[in-house]
Structure 1
Amino acid sequence: MTRGSLILILLLILVFILPADLQAQCSICTKTAQQLGERPAKALNTGIIYLGLTPFLIIGYIGYRWWKNNDN
């Protein structure tokens, strides 16, 4: 088993272990979103998680490519 496939398997296991309903808002944003209703509160939470995860995915991809190119 190569190192890359081991990392991929570990990342997949980590994704399945993480809880499905993460709370991304601060307490003030949570109260404001709850006043709008359940659906907008969930949408706001999903948007915050999406915006927070995107830079990590981009940096992770760049780091992986850099590591792969220096592994020669």
Structure 2
Amino acid sequence: MMSKKIIVSYILLMIFTLKSSYSQCAMCKAVVESGDVPLAEGVNNGISYLMVFPYLLIGGLFFALYRYKKNQAKN
């Protein structure tokens, strides 16, 4: 049980600390390289904003499954 927690923690740590997670599409890269700093920051913030929702949905799914399994174990 403890090894699963360690593995999950390690994977999450790797996901959130990888520098490749800051990669961008070709058009976004072109905007960033144009030198317009506020626009580039806006693009990066937009990408981060769009990435939040899939993680929230997956987290909600896992939480629902956890509660379901916990209720099944009680019965």
**What range is the shorter-chain TM-score in?**
0.5 to 0.7
Q: TM-score, normalised to structure 2's length?
A: 0.56
Q: How many equivalent residue pairs?
A: 68
Aligned with 2:61: secondary structure? helix
| Pairs within 5 Å for 1:1-72 | 1=2, 3=4, 6=5, 8-19=8-19, 22-24=22-24, 26-35=25-34, 37-51=36-50, 53-72=51-70
What percentage of aligned pairs have identical amino acids?
19
Q: TM-score, normalised to structure 1's length?
A: 0.57
Report the Cα distance in structure 2 between the residues aligned to 1:68 and 1:19, rounded to whole angstroms.
31
The root-mean-square deviation of aligned C-alpha atoms, in Å, is 3.0
> Larger helix proportion, structure 1 or 2?
2
**Relative contact order: is structure 1 or structure 2 higher (C-alpha 8 Å, sep ≥ 6)?**
1
Larger Rg: 2
5+ long unaligned stretches in structure 2: 71-75
5+ long unaligned stretches in structure 1: none
